[in-house]
Amino acid sequence: MADAENATRAPESDAQEDAAPAAPAPVASTGEIIKLNDVDVYISKPVDYPHAPSRLLLLLTGGTGIKSTNNQIQADKYAAEGFLVLMPDMFGGDSAPAGTAIADDSTSFLEQLKIKAVEVTKSFLIDMWLARVTEERVLPILHKVIDAAKEQYADAIKQGDGIYAVGYCVGARFVLLLAKKTQAAGEDEESGGVKTGPFIKAGALAHAASVVPDDFLNLSVPLSLVCVENDPLFPDSVRMAGEDSMSLASLEHEVSVYPGVPHGFAVVGEYQDNSIKDAQATAYEQMLQWIQTH
């Protein structure tokens, strides 16, 4: 069910050299992969669901996707807090290229050239993959899952008076897009109409990637942001533009910037550095409390 070889950190961080990837989490996931409207979805339920009321949570992953053990355990953590979690394969089976570990045990010039060549190739493959993760491709998949959830899990949506969402890395950007009042890229192909948002009640996102300032325009739901200090995948300029847009719109929001952590740190995984472990736990509590209280 799970792919234990998928890296803990989002693959878009593989192009960075400042932190080693975390090891897979040393426990097994408890949910399962099902089909919703022909989309593969990892579902994780509270142990007492449906006998006890639960709220519906949409979890949008980084590029490692729904078969990553760590992403699955992340979903299970929210389920243990009473959320019915749906984690869709928003990439249509096209997860990001897996990272390749390089053991640098030689200082020879030739070895250094080989290492740099692999790094450049990895970065190129990741950039090519990110270019395929577009609104036009991903939003229709998410809308299919949301439409199916409204039918099959109407009780959970009613319990929470809407759908909650958390997103990590590239998935974080789509939390923003689902939080907009309108989203033209979510066109209804059958009717030719345009789906209107917002599609979620509240959202929390961690170390976003591929976000542009315009993604913060027209937002209409409360949002919590977990950010990494000096993150090239979510530059300070974009973050500050986003903060300005949300403030000007009088949108309820919070932004926390975590220093000394790698991009992808908020996803479940084992880091040897205790400061990263502590930050990971704090980020989870920030996101959990936000969706619990909104």
Each residue of 200-218: pLDDT tens digit?
999 999 999 999 999 999 9
> Residue 180 pairs with which residues in a beta bridge?
219
CA 132-241-202 angle, to 5 degrees, is 70
Provide the mean pLDDT of the chain: 83
81, part of any domain = yes
Q: Residue 22: its pLDDT value, please?
A: 55
126, part of any domain = no
Structure tokens at 150: 């409204």
25, part of any domain = yes
More confident residue, 44 or 196: 44
Q: Residue 119: its pLDDT value, please?
A: 54
Write out the residue range of the structural domain in which residue 257 sits.
11-100+134-292
Q: Residue 182: its pLDDT value, please?
A: 75
> Which CATH number belongs to the domain containing residue 256 in this structure?
3.40.50.1820
Query: Which pairing describes strands 182-187 and 164-168: parallel, antiparallel, or unpaired?
Result: unpaired
124, part of any domain = no
Q: Residue 7: its pLDDT value, please?
A: 38
Q: How confident is the model at residue 193 (pLDDT cuts 50, 70, 90)?
A: low
Q: Residue 83: its pLDDT value, please?
A: 98
Q: Residue 113: its pLDDT value, please?
A: 40
pLDDT digits (tens, 9 = 90+) for 242-276: 999 999 999 999 999 999 999 999 999 888 999 99
**With 70 as the cut, is the pLDDT of residue 61 above it?**
yes
1, part of any domain = no
CA distances from 78 to 40, 104, 244 (A): 19, 38, 30
> Residue 161 pairs with which residues in a beta bridge?
none
What's the whole-number mean pLDDT along residues 24-42? 88
Q: How confident is the model at residue 23 (pLDDT cuts 50, 70, 90)?
A: low
**With 60 as the cut, is the pLDDT of residue 5 above it?**
no
Residues in the chain: 294
Q: Residue 132: its pLDDT value, please?
A: 80
36, part of any domain = yes
**With 80 as the cut, is the pLDDT of residue 11 above it?**
no
Q: Residue 8: its pLDDT value, please?
A: 42
More confident residue, 180 or 183: 180
Peptide bond into 213 cis (omega under 30): no
196, part of any domain = yes
Q: Residue 70: its pLDDT value, please?
A: 93
Measured distance CA(255)–CA(251) in Å, rounded: 12
**With 80 as the cut, is the pLDDT of residue 105 above it?**
no
Q: How confident is the model at residue 12 (pLDDT cuts 50, 70, 90)?
A: very low
Q: Residue 15: its pLDDT value, please?
A: 38
288, part of any domain = yes
**Residues 273 and 17: beta-carbon distance below 8 Å:** no
Of the chain, the end-to-end C-alpha distance in Å amounts to 32
Q: How confident is the model at residue 3 (pLDDT cuts 50, 70, 90)?
A: very low
Measured distance CA(252)–CA(181) in Å, rounded: 15
Looking at the structure of the chain, the number of domains it has is 1
What's the whole-number mean pLDDT along residues 145-169? 97
